């Protein structure tokens, strides 16, 4: 029973995770990843700073112990010299006191030397840890910079993907019906072509009508009157008619001659009786 509930919980958890990933905005997730990388780099720098601080602290302690060692060593030598002087002077009591002091300084000297050895080992370990931490921070900084550059690349690819998706959707909408109230591009094109063909057909029918022919006759009459008026003005100015006008006059004369020949002779009027 418990195993079944556990498996069901894992299933629904995985299903929820899949739905979340499907609906999640990649831009937000990318920024979250970069923020986490920044936090990780900050934590790494804090750890490195702690290790470097330990190195500096052991270095200060070592330098202080080295100074103490030098001082204790000097005191031990000075006590021995004073004990030797007291011995030469025959002062056995003072010679014994200086000898005891020298032994005390020697004991302290041994203790300081051991502390120095321990501090040297600790300082060596702290120096190695600090160097490793510095190297890790430098490597992580390089990796972080590479992630920042890659973020710009990914954001550009994401923008291109979104634009391409919009283009694909637009191209699909030109071929498929978007909805019941929205016609396709092909349907609109067919409708426009049918309307254009109908308009052209009506134009051809209008061109063959009587009104169109009458309009052509009126335009021709106006053109003839204009040419006659122009010829009259030329005559008044004493200018010779143009070659085009001369040709038209010859054509008009020929037409008049043809009409006169074709017309029937007039019958004489009957005389009154």
pLDDT in tens, 2-19: 676 767 666 666 666 666
Most confident option among 7-16, 165-174, 179-188, 189-198: 189-198
Interval 162-172 mean pLDDT: 78
Quote the pLDDT of residue 53: 92
Distances (CA, A) of 69 to 74, 102, 107, 108, 153: 8, 14, 11, 9, 61
Tens digit of pLDDT for each residue in 132-152?
989 999 998 888 888 888 888
What is the torsional sign of CA 167, 172, 177, 179?
negative
Asked whether residue 110 carries a pLDDT value surpassing 60, the answer given is yes
Interval 238-246 mean pLDDT: 65
Interval 55-65 mean pLDDT: 91
Spacing of C-alpha 180 from chain mean position: 37
The model carries a pTM of 0.48
Asked whether residue 104 carries a pLDDT value surpassing 60, the answer given is yes
Interval 40-64 mean pLDDT: 90
- Of 72, 66, 59, 76, the residue nearest 116 (C-alpha): 66
Asked whether residue 117 carries a pLDDT value surpassing 90, the answer given is yes
Quote the pLDDT of residue 266: 46
Quote the pLDDT of residue 18: 63
Spacing of C-alpha 144 from chain mean position: 19
Within 10 angstroms of residue 223's Cβ, the number of other Cβ atoms is 10
pLDDT category, 272, cuts 50, 70, 90? Answer: very low
Tens digit of pLDDT for each residue in 193-236?
888 788 777 776 665 555 666 666 677 777 777 777 777 777 77
pLDDT category, 244, cuts 50, 70, 90? Answer: low
Within 10 angstroms of residue 165's Cβ, the number of other Cβ atoms is 10
């Amino acid at each position: 029973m418990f195993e079944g509930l556990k498996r069901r919980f894992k299933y629904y958890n995985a299903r929820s995770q899949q739905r979340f990933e499907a609906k999640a905005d990649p831009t937000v997730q990318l920024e979250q990843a970069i923020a986490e990388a920044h936090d990780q780099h900050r934590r790494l720098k804090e750890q490195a700073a702690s290790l470097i601080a330990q190195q500096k602290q052991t270095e200060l302690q070592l330098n202080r112990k080295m100074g103490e060692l030098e001082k204790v060593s000097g005191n031990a030598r000075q006590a021995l010299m004073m004990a030797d002087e007291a011995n030469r002077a025959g002062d056995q009591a003072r010679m014994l006191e200086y000898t005891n002091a020298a032994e005390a300084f020697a004991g302290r000297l041994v203790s300081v030397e051991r502390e120095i050895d321990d501090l040297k080992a600790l300082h060596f370990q702290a120096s190695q840890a600090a160097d490793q931490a510095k190297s890790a921070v430098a490597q992580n900084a390089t990796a972080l910079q590479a992630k920042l550059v890659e973020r710009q690349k990914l954001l550009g690819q994401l923008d291109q993907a979104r634009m391409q998706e919009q283009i694909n959707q637009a191209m699909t909408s030109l071929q498929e019906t978007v909805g019941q109230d929205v016609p396709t591009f092909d349907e609109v094109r067919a409708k426009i072509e049918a309307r254009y063909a109908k308009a052209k057909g009506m134009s051809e029918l209008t061109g063959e009508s009587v009104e169109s022919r009458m309009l052509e006759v009126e335009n021709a009459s106006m053109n003839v009157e204009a040419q006659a008026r122009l010829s009259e003005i030329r005559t008044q100015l004493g200018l010779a008619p143009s070659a085009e006008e001369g040709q038209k006059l010859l054509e008009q004369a020929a037409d008049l001659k043809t009409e006169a020949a074709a017309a029937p002779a007039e019958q004489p009027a009957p005389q009154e009786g």
